[in-house]
Amino acid sequence: MEPLISAQTLAELLDEPELIIVDCRFRLQNPNWGRQQYYQNHIPRADYLDLNQDLSAPPNALQGRHPLPPMTQFAQTLCQLGVRQNQTLVVVYDQAQPAFAARLWWLFRYWGHNLVRVLDGGWVAWQAQGYPTTSTIPERKENGQFIPQAQPNWTLECSELKRQIQNQSLTLVDCRDAVRYRGEVEPIDPIAGHIPGAINHPWREACTPEGFLRTPQEIQSQWADIDLAHPTAVYCGSGVTACVNLLALAHAQLPQPQLYPGGWSAWCNHLI
């Protein structure tokens, strides 16, 4: 299934009963910003999910700043939204670049709901094209039906990652900005640098300056240096923005690498 949806197509679907829209705008430096923006204005029918509260478990040293949410918690969240497993189309959106929408897209699929798409260009594209907005909060929906089942081999734990690094049996991709990968700047985590052996594919390169995902041909060209048929894993700071590269690869119909959810925030804590 194509992982993206255009603003025009979403606008045409707004009256469809089996449609759930989720706003997940967020800023790491100002965690309340996204929810405040949602209350001021959002796409009609949209609910809001928060990176820290809904898309992650509490941070801890072993699993990083944004561990995956517990299975039962995430399933309850989806049921409260009214999601019916693999019957309801879910559209998620971000401000522009899909840094947080991609995480939610990946989580839906990881727990077994494949009918999920990311609004290409996000809120900025929706507004720029003149589609309706509202500050009205949707009425509570009838509970959905969702039985989560984690997809096998989609994630890597730290111990397995270490083993594969030692055996040189894995291509590891760091999706953070190049200056963080090189250890020149580290604004969040206690140590600068990258996991040994990792190569760098910054997630922002998958997006245009306006926040749209690049074309499949551009993404295929960007990743031509990696044999994705070989075992491959991606990571970022805490398992969030690496999902943008996973989204881009799905858009380009390329194989999906594994995700190391703990990312650099978990790895560097093992070094302290």
Return the closest-CA partner of residue 91 out of 128, 57, 52, 45: 45
- Choose, from 158, 175, 236, 243, the residue flagged as catalytic: 236
Residue 134, SS3 per DSSP: strand
Q: Which residues are registered as beta bridge partners of 42? A: 134
Contact predicate 123/97, CB 8 Å:
no
How distant, in Å, are the alpha carbons of 11, 57, 72, 144, 253 from that of 215? Answer: 22, 33, 36, 34, 11
Tell me which amino acid residue 7 is: A
Q: Which residues are registered as beta bridge partners of 20? A: 90
In the block, tokens 């944004």 appear at 66
Return the closest-CA partner of residue 33 out of 104, 121, 95: 95
* Core vs surface per residue 40-52: b (16+ CB within 10 A) or e: eebbebbbbbbbb
Residue 48, SS3 per DSSP: strand
Q: Is 207 a catalytic residue?
A: no
Please give the torsion angle defined by the CA atoms of residues 9, 10, 13 and 19, in that order, rounded to the nearest 10 degrees.
Answer: 140
Which secondary structure element, helix H or strand E, spans residue 167, and what is its range?
helix 158-167
Would you please indicate which residues are annotated as catalytic (active-site) residues?
A: 236
